[in-house]
Amino acid sequence: MTESELNQRLSPIVATTLLFSLFGWLLLGLFTFSLSLHALLLTSLGALMACGRLLGIGIDELRDGLFQGIQDAIPALVIFLMIGVLMASFMLSGTVPSLLYYGLYLLSPEWFAPATLILCAVMSSATGTSWGTVATLGVALTGLGQVFGLSPALIAGAAIAGASFGDKMSPISDTTNLAALSSGTDLYRHIRSMSLTTMPTFLIAGGALTVIGYQSGEQILPPAAINTLSSTLEAEFNLSWLTLTPIAVMAYLAIRRIPAETTMFLTSAYAMALAMGLQGAQLTQVMAAIYDGTAFETGQAALDTLLSRGGMASMAWTLTLALIAVALGGVLRTLGVFEVLVTTLIKKLQSRGALVTTSTLGSTMGNALLTEPYIVIILTGQLFRDAYGLRRYDPALLSRSIEEGSTLTAALIPWTTTGIFYASTLGLSVLDYAPYAVLNWLNLIVGITFAWLGWGLIKDKPTTAVTRAPDI
């Protein structure tokens, strides 16, 4: 859709009014009336469809936009289901129990939060997936933190921050490759550009989590309680190095650039086979866990709660909410709200700091409107690429701002597919863990500040731009 066509359909004033009305309703419903997010998004969807009709948009076009939003998000929705299976398989195989067992002895409560940040950063960098990292290692560490008496929101925030680091910086991450492609820059130049703002932010986040975690370290689990838990795990599971191999399998498949859905399927299949061969699980138990998840009765209530999870059924809340959210994003894309606002702002920007600020915050706004980071990354790259080129700014600066505004902030918005997934998987609201996901919100601030100060810029000449990302 051309700029003139968008302006004929939706003026900047109308777009701004729709934006504030939508956010106002969502925030009022969440914080004042404590309404269901499902209900809020569904009523927002209906209201936007009605607004579209008032603006002269045909019902068929609005429906096409709605279904296109769902279609674009199908890979993410499939991953939702596969994550449920993966979680169940990692419980049955003894992978998560082994992580808990060894974590009881190797991780100190005082240093638990920064250790969680580092461990999840390493795993997500190796696998290229933040979702898989949070669903496996993040779940185990959050549960172990609770056993130690630490705040689950603190550990969940640290896990999400670490997982987001790898999702942003790993050369095998989908978002990393997509941001480079949509901005027209080389992948490794993009990563080098990001490192100039991300590494300082990572160190600051680690320091902050260390201080917070150390202050919470007084709630140390008594040795007797640790011995009881470890004995229970030893009695319930055959714990050995083999139980950790599913993590290695997932990392290997990710490094080989096997699609995420296939990687999770094959890893789950291997873990289920390990459950039958090593843990003595019956085939009927394994088949039931695929849909219903696991159910353990160890005699330790906290341990049972942690280990009894997963399965496709556990993702029903997540999946239904995501379906409504991406449908809403599809209608908003049809209306052109995001494009109208961004193109209006671009015309008034000249300085590097102003442009980076707008592309970064624009990506964040895109997350809030369109709900799916993949779409936002492509669309933002398309909208800002020429503006950066005309002003002779390095495209790696654009790609960095997109990742800081979209990849990282998606975890902080309750109705994005990422926020929905993390909240459902870890059993916490986004608002609970968001303050502790320091990297996710601080990196945005650091990136914008560096742009205004002229810091963190790559000095060498950019390589030839890669092919433009396809239109969506």
The tens digit of pLDDT for each residue in 352-361 reads 999 999 999 9
What tokens appear for 23 in the block? 């956010």
Q: Look-up: residue for tokens 């008034």? A: 348
Q: How far is the C-alpha of 337 from the C-alpha of 28, rounded, in Å?
A: 21
In this structure, are residues 131 and 264 in contact, taking their beta carbons and an 8 Å threshold? Answer: no
pLDDT at 278: 95
Q: How far is the C-alpha of 366 from the C-alpha of 75, rounded, in Å?
A: 19
Least confident of 154-158, 258-262, 284-288: 258-262
Q: pLDDT tens-digit profile of 139-171?
A: 999 988 888 888 999 999 999 999 999 999 999
List all residues 6 or more positions away from 158 whose beta carbon is below 8 Å from its beta carbon. Answer: 113, 114, 116, 117, 120, 209, 213, 436, 437
pLDDT over threshold 50, residue 96: yes
Q: What is the pTM of this model?
A: 0.89
pLDDT at 8: 57
What average pLDDT is seen over the chain?
A: 90
Q: How far is the C-alpha of 187 from the C-alpha of 176, rounded, in Å?
A: 8
pLDDT over threshold 50, residue 260: yes
What tokens appear for 20 in the block? 């504030």
User: Considering the chain, what percentage of its residues have pLDDT values greater than 90?
Assistant: 73
- Smallest CA-to-CA distance from 438 within 197, 167, 33, 117 is with 117
Q: With the C-alpha atoms ordered 139, 145, 148, 154, is the resulting torsion angle positive or negative?
A: negative
What tokens appear for 336 in the block? 């052109």
> How many residues are recorded in the chain?
472
In this structure, are residues 159 and 141 in contact, taking their beta carbons and an 8 Å threshold? Answer: yes
Within 10 angstroms of residue 309's Cβ, the number of other Cβ atoms is: 22
What tokens appear for 453 in the block? 């100060």
pLDDT at 470: 47
Q: How far is the C-alpha of 134 from the C-alpha of 236, rounded, in Å?
A: 24
What tokens appear for 15 in the block? 């777009």
What tokens appear for 156 in the block? 């969940």
List all residues 6 or more positions away from 354 whose beta carbon is below 8 Å from its beta carbon. Answer: none
Highest mean pLDDT among 239-243, 396-400, 464-468: 396-400
pLDDT over threshold 90, residue 270: yes
pLDDT over threshold 80, residue 256: yes
